[in-house]
Amino acid sequence: MRIIPAIDIIDGQCVRLSKGDYSTAKIYSNDPLEMAKAFQDHGVEYLHLVDLDGAKSHGIVNHKVLEKIATKTNLKIDFGGGLKTDQDLKIAFESGAKQITGGSIAIKDPATFLSWIETYGAHRIILGADAANEKIAISGWLETSSEDLIPYVSNFMARGITDVICTDISKDGMLAGPSIALYEKMISRLNGIKLIASGGVAELQDLHDLKAVGCDAAIVGKAIYEYRISLKEIEQFILNTSSC
């Protein structure tokens, strides 16, 4: 199972939210690049970079942060937040993203999202399927739709998507443990899914539990920033996983 540290950006700074609420934003670093380098120095190969300004705006905002990290590290970056048009996507890939995550766009403008899959290939597009009570949430989690999570994901998998980030919003940033039962349910019902768990990771055992249910990857944010899981522990987990 891959470990993917998260860097969420507001005004060029590393922040974390609780349950997606922007009013809870806590700044952890003024230098996203230094955070990214620290992850790389401990054996991390992947990074989940989210443009929270873009998620609330009309398009991508913090692409310069993406470009800086992409050019000064070897991290494989998936980028999300504010990707609403073909031009936004072009900017993200030209700025160094290896993959992009489409969340709100997939439900608000599925035709555009599907065209991205056609143009760039499903391997470069991640479906962001964030949920509250198994209903899809959109617009930086400011809105909840009427779409049921599992049928929604299944529909896009039928169009080629395999990589899916699922955040249970009730867990995000709360350091209360991930939604193991939800992820187990998704994996059992969605054949071929590469599920990237996000939200709630609070301790090292959570990573072992996510691996045990079959998650392809786990995004870790606040647990690292709050020193609940050390980068040394992350490094050891990666080494142990790669040697299995």
Catalytic residue numbers, as ranges: 8, 130
Residue whose structure tokens are 């700074």: 13
Under a CB-based contact definition with an 8 Å cutoff, are residues 200 and 206 in contact? yes
Q: Is 114 helix (H, G, I), strand (E, B) or coil?
A: helix
Residue type at 135 in one-letter notation: K
Which residues, at least 6 apart from 188, have a Cβ–Cβ distance to it below 8 Å? none
Contact 144, 132 (CB under 8 A): yes
| Integer Cα distance of 175 and 58 in angstroms | 31
Taking the C-alpha atoms of residue 49 and residue 235, their distance in angstroms, rounded to an integer, is: 19
SS (H, E, C) 52-82: HHHHHCCCCCCHHHHHHHHHHCCCEEEEECC
> What stretch of H or E contains 13?
strand 13-18
